[in-house]
Amino acid sequence: MRNLIFFIYRYHVFFIFFVLEIVAFIILFRFNNYQKASFLNYTNGVAGNFYNGVSNTQEYFNLRRVNDSLQLENARLRSQQITSYYQNNVSISSINDTVYKQQYDYISAQVVNNSVTKRNNYITLNRGRLHGIEREMGVISENGIVGIVMNVSDHYSTVLSLLNSNCKISAKLQKTGAFGSLVWDGGDPRYARLLDVNKHVPIKVGDLVITSNFSTIFPEGLPIGKISDNSLDAGDNFHTINIDLFTDFSTVSTVYVIRNLFKQEQQALEQTLPTDKK
């Protein structure tokens, strides 16, 4: 026993090092496995408050650009207003719409922290649980998709940016409907890569890439980007497609979080399916 204590005392630096590294790895893996860690939400709130202060200051420098994009959006919405359409039908009857039922809600939020140059990038938003945001909701900007909500505190949420090695989004080509998964390979933040598109699918530069209907996170048909170039190595079964992303991640400031009202229903149904995992 004395020898053991002596041994521990002699190498106490190494043991402390070892214990601290284990603590660090536990924190790291909890987070990577998407498990709920309450202290994570806490730091999320603190860091969110901190970045909110920073972003309040920075917002002044972006006002002009934000104004421009809002004006554009206003103009687009105004053109869709009922008053800007010519009334073509004569008999007007009000019907209780049972054909269309709303499936997606949009919650607007401001980006308070963002990065684009790291290998794994994250975004912090100034809306949280109190505003109806939950984990694994989709996030889009006015141009295209941005990422997936990862952690939520009362007033803030962190988003797994599309520019992250852990982010995989199901996408398809608009023309052919061929599916693939969208990943970012860590280079230029303006381009991403579409994998797993079979080689028999014809690919044309400039084709539109949109979200697929496979996920409960994004509605089908949201624009992601357009094909900038593609290559097919001999003997390879899949295209390597580079995509020019519509969202400019380095300037994104106003985003919308998508709430799927049918998500629980779909997931509850899918959970009843028999699985092979034993």
Partner 1 sequence: MILELLTYLLKFIGIILLQVLVVDNVELSSYINPYIYISFILLLPITIKPWHALFLAFICGAFVDALSSTPGLHIAASVLLAFVRIHYLRFATTKEDTESRITPSMSKKGIVWFVFYCFSMTLVHHTFLFFLEIYGFYEFFSTLLRIILSTLVTVMMIVVGQLLFYNTKISNG
The answer to whether residue 8 forms part of the interface with partner 1 (CB under 8 A) is: no
Question: DSSP assignment, residue 199?
Answer: T
Select from 17-25, 67-75, 139-147, 266-274 the region that touches partner 1 (CB under 8 A). 17-25
Q: How far apart are CA 108 and CA 157, in angstroms?
A: 12
Q: Which of 8, 26, 130, 205 binds partner 1 (CB under 8 A)?
A: 26
The answer to whether residue 59 forms part of the interface with partner 1 (CB under 8 A) is: no
Q: Which of 17, 34, 106, 262 binds partner 1 (CB under 8 A)?
A: 17
The answer to whether residue 54 forms part of the interface with partner 1 (CB under 8 A) is: yes
The answer to whether residue 53 forms part of the interface with partner 1 (CB under 8 A) is: no
Strands (E), the chain: 104-114, 122-125, 138-140, 145-152, 157-161, 169-173, 179-183, 191-198, 208-211, 223-231, 238-245, 254-260
# chain residues binding partner 1, by CB under 8 A: 43
Select from 24-32, 74-82, 236-244, 263-271 the region that touches partner 1 (CB under 8 A). 24-32
User: Least CB distance from residue 258 to partner 1, whole Å?
Assistant: 21
- Scan for tokens 């999320």, then name that residue: 44
Q: Which of 13, 75, 92, 268 binds partner 1 (CB under 8 A)?
A: 13
Q: Could you give phi then psi for residue 12, rounded to 5 degrees?
A: -60, -30
H/E segment holding residue 108: strand 104-114
Q: Decide: 251 and 65 in contact? Cβ < 8 Å.
A: yes
Query: What are the structure tokens assigned to 251, written together?
Result: 């300037």
Residues that bind partner 1 (CB under 8 A): 12-14, 16-17, 20-21, 23-32, 37, 40, 43-44, 46-47, 50-51, 54, 115-120, 122, 124, 151, 158, 165, 185-189, 250
